[in-house]
Structure 1
Amino acid sequence: MKKIYYKKDEKYLFVDGYNIINSWEKLKNLSSQNLEDTRQKLMDEMSEFAIFTGESVILVFDGYMVKKSPGAIYKYKGILVVYTKEFETADHFIEKELHEIGRLRQVRVATSDNVEQQMILSRGGTRISARELEIEVENVKNNINKKSVELKNSNQKINAIDDKTLEKLEKLKEKIN
């Protein structure tokens, strides 16, 4: 598995993928039908979140029970997605990364695992519960929708001004002819 290189002035958010899936009601319900679709939905939501907030998101899924899994790290729409290797939990992966960078950079970890939360604090990170992350994600979605409506309304005003100007020009043209 390749190594993650961290930038000095970046803000990082590690997300324990399965912990979030099992904590957010909408994802928990979806995961009972199709786990792959659920992971994809979480990846899309975290990607949108990262773009809007500017925070570097690292979404970590356990590969602990996947036989002979070498693990994988890849980019997806502006975030990093990590599948840990066989016998490595997401908690262990995050703990290892925090040990390396936690005191040097701003790092938050989203998990509702109490033991993991204590470890995060001891390694220099800050913790955020699954519920707190869900609220932040919903706030980002609301802000995006609000900005989208504002942009649409401002474009309508611009078009309305153009229509009025065009109408005045048509009247001037009639007077001249």
Structure 2
Amino acid sequence: MRNVFVDGYNIINSWPELKIIKDYSLEGARHKLIEMLQNYATFKGYKIFLVFDAHMVAGNIGKKERYGDYLIVIFTKEGETADVYIEKKVNNIGRKWEVCVVTSDSIEQQVVFQRGAIRMSSLEFYHEIKQIEKKISLKIETNGINGKNTIEDRIDEDILEKLRKILKGH
């Protein structure tokens, strides 16, 4: 399973729709990003660690929240930036597991690359997310158009006929 570390505020400040939301609600932008990453992670089967800086919050001990099977949201502890958190984690697993770090911070990209991770810019990741959103929408539309909502709709006609005969006792 691929592990993806995402610098949350870096993403919020670089994705067009999140920047707009952030202008009136930072919390709203965080929730929208969480929703987008949850869909992406579930579709791709990737484990995503979304890391937000909380290093300026006095007395903050850090916080982790799990969203389903694939997304973990981390707020760093006082004095720890998202970059430092990501670097530590990548240092521990970067050469053992497949790891990708999403950030547009060029220094951060170099550091994590040296520690065994693949790097991706925020805008590259944005385009990948948008591509997956289109695939998810198409899949939903296709299932709706075909009307494949019951077992009868999903199995071959000859198998369905055999099952009907079994039910009738023939």
In the alignment, the residues of structure 2 paired with residue 130 and residue 45 of structure 1 have an alpha-carbon distance, to the nearest angstrom, of 14
TM-score after normalising by structure 1: 0.82
Instruction: Describe the superposition over 1:64-111 as per-residue Cα deviations: whole angstroms up to 9, x where unpaired.
Output: 111110001120133100000001000000000001000000000000
Structure 2 match to 1:55: 46
Give the Cα–Cα distance (whole angstroms) in 1 for the partners of residues 130 and 97 of structure 2.
26
* Map of 1:126 onto structure 2: 118
Identical columns (%): 40
* Residue correspondence of structure 1 range 94-133 to structure 2 within 5 A: 94-133=86-125
Query: Which consecutive unaligned segments of at least 5 residues does structure 2 have?
Result: 154-170
Map of 2:137 onto structure 1: 145
Q: Calculate the TM-score normalised by the size of structure 2.
A: 0.85
Structure 1 stretches of 4+ moved >2 Å? none
Q: Distance in 1 between matches of 2:72 and 2:133?
A: 20
Distance (Å, rounded) in 2 between the aligned partners of 1:77 and 1:45: 13
Q: Which residue of 1 aligns with 2:24?
A: 33
Deviation at 1:149, TM superposition (A): 1.2
Letter in 2 for 1:19: N
* Larger Rg belongs to: 1
Q: Which residue of 1 aligns with 2:164?
A: none
Which structure 2 residues correspond to residues 69-88 of structure 1 after superposition, within 5 A?
69-78=60-69, 79-88=71-80
Determine which of 17, 26, 33 is the counterpart of 1:42: 33
| Equivalent AA in structure 1 for residue 74 of structure 2 | V
Note if 1:90 corresponds to 2:82.
Answer: yes
Gaps of 5+ in 1: 1-9, 162-177
What residue is the counterpart of 1:23 in the other structure? Answer: 14
AA at the equivalent of 2:122: A
